[in-house]
Amino acid sequence: MGDKKKTGLVLTGGGARAAYQVGVLQGISIILREAGWQPERNPYDIICGTSAGAINATTLACYADNFQEGLQKVVQLWEKVTAEQVYRTDSLGVMRSGAKWLSLLSFGWLLRKWRANPPNSLLDNTPLVTLLNRILDFPRLDAALIDGALHALAVTASSYSAGQHITFYQTEADIEPWERSQRIALRSQICVEHLLASSSIPLIFPSIPIYCNGQRQYFGDGSMRQIAPISPAIHLGADRVLVIGAGRLTEQQRDTSTFAQYPTLAQIAGHALSSIFLDSLAADIERMTRINATVSGLTKEQRTKTPLRQIDMLVIAPSERLDEIAARNVHSLPGTVRMLLGAIGATEARGGALASYLLFESSYTCELIGLGVNDALARRASVLQFFDMPEMATLAHEDALKAG
């Protein structure tokens, strides 16, 4: 990296689907180590995350002074995760949130006592607070930014109160906040509340209050209204960006014979969440590709007259449908949660999309990690080219042949 390019990492949203991201990062780490990269060295100067991707991003950022240690932390987190670490799965907790919410949805207008204190969400994610406080080391993050092991961290959330999409960023560099239509950036000290807000899936998890400019605003999942998920990395100075998606960017036409019935509530909800989490990323990738093509055709003089610049981009996304993997593993959810989700059709094959976001169980997440590793290894040449390491890779390969 003698050219001093700043490398950005963009981790998108997707609930439990975010386990795929750490598999990709693990695969890339294997490729880089084999090419001679020091495992402790952080490959990503700028790390940006949204929704569950914000949790992965912040964990990695906290260990930017020893990237391999941070990667192991986040891999172990997803390998051993259980639903009860993320949201309440006990009968009382499910009754207080999910069952009450569904009852209100069905005939809440008859229950006067709920008008003053309605349920806030389908699931109660208070256990996630304990999990985040256990795995994150914010003083270490501050030190990494001061020492230069990390250039910037950004976490994005959506304000229900202001109707704006807000990127909270932390850096020691002199980077002014930016503002675009319906989206702004605020320099902040990233904390647990930002992660809870960014990962608060609409209707599924409760909104989170955060004080912005002296006013309390309620926030939800950062993937909502996120029309340019790659933008924060570029604003923070990235010259090249690795984007890891949480869903297939080009969906093949599926067999609709099993989906010909009237859609269940879970099927509709899963479709809506996929639109929130996946569509904006695909559109932004297309936009970046067009911008790169336009800039590459300009003369040097023309480039000085435009704010646009060419950004090297590598995109890695699942090669398989994650909703189908979820449908195979939905039985691993706790019985209380299966009963709740079964009431809206999420345990059926056609409800797999919704289940794929809520299936925080190791049988599912380990399968996603394995898929991520394989997808990354399949892109070995692209990864080495992205990091400008083809010569090192050739030498490492020759040494391995000699050793053999």
CA distances to 13, 24, 176, 345, 395 from 197, in Å: 12, 25, 23, 27, 46
pLDDT at 122: 79
Tell me the per-residue pLDDT of 363-398, one tens digit each, with 9 for 90 and over.
999 999 999 999 999 999 999 999 998 655 555 555
- Helix (H) / strand (E) containing 101: helix 100-107
229-265 residue pLDDT tens: 899 999 999 999 999 987 766 655 555 555 567 787 7
pLDDT at 348 over 60: yes
Q: What is the pLDDT of residues 285-323, one digit of tens each?
A: 888 888 888 888 888 888 887 888 889 999 999 999 998
Tokens of 243: 């984007």
Strand-pair partners of 168 = 155, 186
Higher confidence at residue 23 or residue 404? 23
Distance CA 165, CA 182 (A): 6
Q: Break the chain down into helix, strand, coil percent, rounded to 5.
A: 50, 15, 35
Do residues 73 and 135 touch, judged by C-beta distance below 8 A? Answer: yes
Structure confidence at residue 109 (pLDDT): 45
Give 116-159 pLDDT, tens digit per residue.
555 577 788 999 999 999 999 999 999 999 999 999 999 999 99
- Record the tokens describing residue 19, joined without a space: 């386990």
pLDDT given at position 247 = 73
**Ramachandran bin of 237, using left for φ above 0, alpha for ψ from -120 to 50, beta for the remaining angles:** left
Neighbours of 4 (CB within 10 A): 7
Determine contact, residues 17/246, Cβ cutoff 8 Å. yes
**CA dihedral over 292, 44, 375, 323, signed as positive or negative:** negative
Q: Is the pLDDT of residue 225 over 80?
A: no
Among 348, 323, 314, CA closest to 252: 323
Q: Is the pLDDT of residue 87 over 80?
A: yes
In percent, the amount of the chain with pLDDT more than 70 equals 85
